[in-house]
Structure 1
């Protein structure tokens, strides 16, 4: 956990800050708020009594309770007493500190921070570049890979990324045409003109 000092939080090297969600629309009049999740493990991050920070500030929100409603996580925070307070907090991004060596509960799952910086190689061993970021634009996560030829976005699916080896510090990617490099220009029509 980040220690508080009069000058602000003091970082600890054994902890990393992770974004877990953002406050969405109010639900009802008693202070429930829909959470726009930014974590695959809401049951670990939004437990009753969890103290979450507002990104970029020292403000904290304490989880009073949570429940699922129509596929969305609803939370109530001790500091947001009613709908008006929730409306004023809408859009705030919530973060928490987790142990740097923490891993997901499910095998084959990875935290973004574990993937960023890994070397990228093709399945035949050719170096490609490094993972610069992990993007979550919709139903399919993307690896943003910095190559010598520029940035490439690779869908993070087993068919294209068959191996993640954290111990070796690398990710293997299948080199399909156009994925890691530009396709060669199509040859123009051949023949003679009249």
Structure 2
């Protein structure tokens, strides 16, 4: 067990890969990378979000999960925190994440905060936050927790391409750290590594992710 997994085990118990669960069926394919279920204590979640909650599959993956907020996290609490309220004042379009807290499978949707409105001559960072029906999940060790995907929209209304997953993860982490929150950078491996490449089904989608998620204590 590597150093990061030992640290994770001390915080919340081992993160477990789930090869067969009730939820979106994700085929292993290069286009989608390593989309799969992960179990955090008694809770299950997928390590990517999706463009749809109907027939979600490997060809409908959107972005990698790269952030986890824990201790006393809740979706609106994260969005309205001192680190985010004025830093990410705009919203994007809805995507979907799948999870199961033991009460059954659940899709959550989120538009997600953005740093700016779409334009032809500016970039905007964008992340979406997910949890179950009461906007937070609970497991021993982590407490109440939520998770998020990250990316950057480049000149969205003209050049119109997307990427920089880890750059936006770092941007969010820096904003929380600057406000005094505990930030554990690249704390746990989430099995969603993607080498740099263009998605063959959407050349505007530029994959690149180191596979590690940052934890932020709320």
- TM superposition score category, shorter chain reference: under 0.3
| TM-score normalised by the chain length of structure 2 | 0.25
Please say which structure displays the higher CA radius of gyration: 1
Q: Give the helix-richer structure, 1 or 2.
A: 2
Higher relative contact order (CA 8 A, sep 6+): 2
| TM-score normalised by the chain length of structure 1 | 0.27
